[in-house]
Each structure stands twice: as C-alpha cells, then as structure tokens.
Chain A
Amino acid sequence: QKEVEQDPGPLSVPEGAIVSLNCTYSNSAFQYFMWYRQYSRKGPELLMYTYSSGNKEDGRFTAQVDKSSKYISLFIRDSQPSDSATYLCAMSEPGGGNKLTFGTGTQLKVEL
C-alpha cells in the first residue's frame, strides 16, 4: 500500500462546476500538506499549503485537512478551462528535511 493514495481520474466537469479532489494517507507523522498543479510536460506548481488540521482558502481554492481521518481535500469553485491540469497532493513530516511524498495525481479537465 502506498503512503499516499489519490484517485488518478480522469475527472471531467463543465465550466463553472465545483471540483472536489481528495487524498488519503497512512503515515500519521505527516503534518504539512500541499496541493500542486501540474500542466502537461511542466514542473509542479505549488497551489496551497496547510499545516496540521483545518481549512485554508485562497481565491477559488479551498484546502481541507482532517488528520483524524487521514484525509485531505482541495475544492475548486467556479472551475475554468484553464484549471485543466493534473493536481498532486503532497505531504511531509516535521524535521523531514522538507522531503515531500506525493500522490499519483488526479487529471482534471474542465470543459466549455
């Protein structure tokens, strides 16, 4: 079993929809949680960063962490075609040298 599980999709939604992306993890030592966006043949770009449990909002993006369930989510409101990309969750432990463990990524397509 992988430390971080993520549904690879693909996920296809109409423009304007609310998108929900999720990851589960098994390592209870993870304290830092991130979401990256990766366009085809590009490097990952940091979207959201959350420490421990709770919610964080940035524009159309909301990240949620539920450590008791070992479950994290990313919500995208009013999705746009430009949001079409692969979304990767990533996690790290305190004192782990900032080393990230990634999920496999969920491929999202927002259609006109």
Chain B
Amino acid sequence: DTGVSQDPRHKITKRGQNVTFRCDPISEHNRLYWYRQTLGQGPEFLTYFQNEAQLEKSRLLSDRFSAERPKGSFSTLEIQRTEQGDSAMYLCASSPTQGQGLDFGPGTRLTVT
C-alpha cells in the first residue's frame, strides 16, 4: 500500500446524471476526508469519517451529495443530478487519528457537460 488511491481519475458526464467516485485510503489510517478543488482555488473541505462514522459535513455538501464509508475502509462519494457547477477535482485524503497533515490521493477530475 503506497498511498491513497482514487477511481476513476477522470469522469465526463452529462448534466443530470449521477456519478460515484471511490477512494481507498492508506490502510492503517482511520480518518478519511473528501475535498473539492476548483481551478485557481485551494481544496475546500466537504466531509470526513473516523472509521465508518461520518463526523462532519460542510455546508458545501448539498443534498445531492452523499458519502459513505461502510466498513471503515474505502469510501464512496456520490453526486446525484449533476450540475455544471459540480465540475471540479474531487480529492480524497486520509490520516491517522493522532498527528496532523493529510495524505492526499491523485484526485478525480469531474467534468459536467
């Protein structure tokens, strides 16, 4: 296990379609985070899990977004009824409970046409 992995790396979808992204964290990390990054901006926090519990959600996470981490390992982020404004890089990160700093994955770039 060499790092956080994300799948797919790129996704092009039409407005109104649903999309799902997957993140596999570093295996010994029990915290998992989702961030969104648009062009020219820093990553913005969306939500995070400690094991399987979703502990915090940002106001950015509208009702169309849902994240799960059912067994405390991998996580999925689903966006329903995509809009053009959802076009962004979706970054997953993980960390151990103690210590600071996150290990980021390569991201999933979403384009909504």
Which residues of A are interface residues toward B (Cβ below 8 A)? 4, 6, 8, 32, 34, 36, 41-46, 49, 51, 88, 90, 92, 97-105
Contact = CB atoms under 8 A, between A and B. Distances in A.
Interface in B83-109: 89, 91, 93, 95, 99-107, 109
Contacts, number: 65
B40 A97 contact: no
Range, interface on chain B: 20 to 34
Nearest to A100: B102
B56 A46 contact: no
What 10 pairs between A and B have smallest CB-CB spacing?
Answer: A102-B42, A43-B104, A32-B100, A43-B106, A49-B101, A44-B104, A46-B101, A43-B107, A104-B42, A98-B95
B42 A105 contact: yes
Given A43-B107, A44-B43, A102-B43, A97 B55 contact: yes
